[in-house]
Amino acid sequence: MEQHTFHGLKLAEPICKALQGEGYEHPTPIQLAAIPHLLAGRDLIGCARTGTGKTAAFALPMLQQLSTTQKKIPPRGARALILTPTRELAVQVGESFRTYGRYLRIDHALVFGGVGQGPQVKALRRGVDVLVATPGRLLDLINQGHASLAQIEIFVLDEADRMLDMGFLPDIKKVIAMLPAKRQTLLFSATMAPAILKLAEGLLVDPVKVAVDPPASTLTQIDERVLFVDEGNKRALLSELLKSEEITRALVFTRTKHGANRLVKQLEKSDIAARAIHGNKSQTARMAALQDFRTGRCRLLVATDVAARGIDVDGITHVINYDLPNEPESYVHRIGRTARAGASGIALSFCGGSERPFLRDIERLLKRSVPVCKDHPFHASGIANTRGGTSGGAKITAQRNGWGAHRRQRTCPRYGCGRRGRLGAAK
C-alpha cells in the first residue's frame, strides 16, 4: 500500500530518491509512526533502540522542513541541533544526513571532543542548517563564541537514557537554557525510566508518544542465552566459542577499560584478531578500530558500554557479554547491537559467581528469565544451582544434543563452537 512507502508519507521527491538509492522503500514502524507527526511540527517522545530506524525517523522530516523553508543562517548559528551522547553516534547521525540529504541544499556540521576544534570552528563560521554535537564540546565552542543556539528551530535529544547514565544532565540543562522557547523538540530513548519522563515533562510541549517496542524489552529476533562459568574460565570459554566460523562479527562487552585491553591482548596471544574500543582510546584509534570491525579486518570488537553507545554496524551476528553489566538497562542496549533492521541475532552472556545479582536485576527488568545454556565445556553447575528462578525450559540435555560428541570434539553443537550449531541463523 502506498501509505507504507516513503512516498506515501508525503516526503519530498529528492528525499525519496536518496532513500531509493540506498535500497530503502518501506519505512520501519518507528518511521511510520513518527514521520507524519514530525512533518506536522509536533513535539515527540520516541521509545526505540538503535537499529529500528530511529535516526531516519527524525532526519527525514527534519530535512524536509528545512529544505522547504529556506532561511538565511547567521554566522556561527544553526537551524537544527541534534545532541548525542558519544562521538561515534554523532558521526553516524552526520552520515545519515549526508546520505538522505544528498539531493538537497542542506549542510551539516559535527561537533565532538577528542579531536582538534579547528575544523569544527571553521565549519560553523558561516552557519549551518544542521548541527550534530556532543554536549561537552558544544558548550566549549559556545563559551568561546564559536557557536550560537539562538536560531534553533528543531532540537533532538538522542539516546536520552544514555545521556543521563553518562552524567550529562547538567550539560543538557545548560544547552536547553540557550534554546529559543519556540521550537520543535524531539526526545528519543531506548527506555522510559522515571528520570527520562521527568526530563521530558519540562522539555516538550504536548508531545506525541511513540513506542515501537515495550520499554526495556528485547527484540524478539534475538536468541538469548546465559552461560554459567567460573570467572577464571571465561577467556577459555570465549576462545572455545570463537572456534565457530558462524561467529562472523561479534561485539564483546567488558565492564572496564582495563578489562577490554587485557582481553584483546589475551586473544591476540591465541591468534584471534580483536580490537578494543573505550573511553581512554583516542578518537583516531577508536575510529580505526571501528573501521577494522566494519570492514571485516577483525571479527571481534571488545568494548565498554560507553564506547559502544552509537555503534551502528550491519551484520553483527553475536553480542557476547563477557562481563554482565551492573546496570540492567545496559543489557538491553548491548544486545540491541545485533538483530538489527529485521535480522536475527544471538546474545550470549557469561555469568560468574559474583555476577548473579546482576543477572537477577536484568531478569527483573525484563520480567522473565534468560534461558540457560548448560551444553558447553565450562558449565559451572555450582553457580547455576544457586540461581533463583532458573528457566527449566531452557535446559539443553546431553541426550538431545549429542553430549558424547561434544566431549570428544570439545565443541558445543548448539551455541558457538561446532559447525553443526544454530549460529548460522544469525546471518
Mean pLDDT of 127-143: 97
Q: 73 pLDDT exceeds 80?
A: yes
Instruction: Give per-residue pLDDT as tens, 364-398.
Output: 988 899 999 998 999 999 999 875 443 333 333 22
Give the pLDDT confidence score for residue 5 in this predicted structure. 86
pLDDT tens, residue by residue, 191-208? 787 888 899 998 999 999
Residue carrying the nine cell digits 523538540: 185
247 & 312 share domain: yes
Query: Is the pLDDT at 42 greater than 70, yes or no?
Result: yes
Spatial CB neighbours of 318, under 8 Å, sequence gap ≥ 6: 247, 249, 250, 251, 338, 345, 346, 347, 348, 423, 426
Q: Point out which residues pair with 301 in neighbouring strands.
A: 251, 275
Of 415, 22, 373, nearest to 226 (Cα)?
373
Q: Is the pLDDT of residue 11 over 70?
A: yes
* Domain identity same for 198 and 261: no
Q: What is the CATH number of the domain that holds 70?
A: 3.40.50.300
C-alpha 317/C-alpha 340 separation (Å) is 10
- DSSP 8-class letter at 418: S
Which of 52-61, 138-147, 366-375, 398-407 shows the highest mean pLDDT?
A: 138-147
List, in order, residues 6 or more apart from 143 with CB less than 8 Å away.
none
> Would you say residue 135 has pLDDT above 90?
yes
Identify the domain boundary among 181, 211, 241.
Answer: 211
Task: Assess whether 155 and 257 both reside in one domain.
Answer: no
Which single residue is written with the C-alpha cell 591476540? 268
Cβ contacts of 22 within 8 Å, gap of 6 or more? 99
Taking the C-alpha atoms of residue 292 and residue 276, their distance in angstroms, rounded to an integer, is 11
In the predicted model, what is the mean pLDDT of residues 396-411? Answer: 30
- Helical (H) or strand (E) element with 111: strand 108-111
Mean pLDDT across the stretch 291-306? Answer: 89
Q: Mean pLDDT in the chain?
A: 85
Q: How far apart are CA 26 and CA 230, in angstroms?
A: 46
d(CA 267, CA 280): 20
Can you point out the beta strands (E) in 136-221?
154-157, 184-189, 208-211
Domain boundary at 211, 241, 258, which? 211
CB atoms within 10 A of CB 167: 9
Contact between residue 227 and residue 379 where contact means Cβ atoms under 8 Å apart: yes
In a domain, 335, yes or no: yes
Residue 216 covered by a domain: no
Q: Tell me if 163 sits within 8 A of 195, measured CB to CB.
A: no
Q: Is the pLDDT of residue 263 over 90?
A: yes
Q: Give whole-number Cα distances, 398 to 124, 241, 341, 377, 401, in Å.
A: 63, 18, 35, 12, 5
pLDDT given for residue 220 in this prediction: 61
Residue labelled with grid coordinates 571481534: 300
Question: Do the domain assignments include residue 230?
Answer: yes
pLDDT at 338: 85
Beta carbons of 303 and 281 less than 8 angstroms apart: no
SS3 call for 4? helix
| Same-domain status, 157 and 279 | no
Task: Tell whether 102 is covered by a domain.
Answer: yes
User: What phi, psi does 42 have (nearest 5°)?
Assistant: -80, 150
On whether both 281 and 389 belong to a single domain, the answer is: yes
Q: Which of 112, 79, 114, 116 is nearest to 94 (CA)?
A: 112
pLDDT digits over 236-246, tens only? 999 999 988 88
Tell whether 226 and 205 lie within a shared domain. Answer: no
What are the two backbone dihedrals, phi and then psi, of residue 321, each rounded to the nearest 5 degrees? -85, 90
Model pLDDT, residue 418: 34
Shared domain for 29 and 114, answered yes or no, is: yes
pTM value is 0.66
* C-alpha dihedral (111, 115, 119, 123), degrees to nearest 10: -10
Q: Domain check: are 255 and 192 in the same one?
A: no
pLDDT digit string, tens, across residues 331-366: 988 888 887 666 778 999 999 999 999 999 999 988
Q: Is 224 left (phi over 0), alpha (psi -120 to 50) or beta?
A: beta
Instruction: Specify the pLDDT at position 425.
Output: 32
The proportion of the chain whose per-residue pLDDT surpasses 90, expressed as a percent, equals 59
Judgement on whether residues 270 and 145 belong to the same structural domain of the protein: no
Residue-wise pLDDT for 179-238, tens only, equals 999 999 999 988 787 888 899 998 999 999 998 765 455 556 789 999 999 999 999 999
Residues 205 and 227 in one domain: no
β-bridge partners, 133: 83, 111
Q: Is residue 217 part of a domain?
A: no
88 forms beta bridges with: none
Tens digits of residue pLDDT in 94-120: 999 999 999 999 999 999 998 899 999
Residues 140 and 262 in one domain: no
Looking at residue 410, what is its pLDDT? 36
Q: Distance between CA atoms of 122 and 79, rounded to whole angstroms?
A: 17
Residues 326 and 380 grouped into a single domain: yes
Show which of 161, 176, 211 is a domain's final residue. Answer: 211
Q: Nine-digit cell at 176?
A: 536547553
Check residue 36 and give its pLDDT.
96
52 or 420, which is more confident? 52
**Average confidence (pLDDT) over 147-164:** 94
Residue 271 backbone zone (phi > 0: left; psi -120 to 50: alpha; other: beta)? left
Question: Which structural domain range is residue 80 located in?
Answer: 2-211
Domain count for the chain: 2
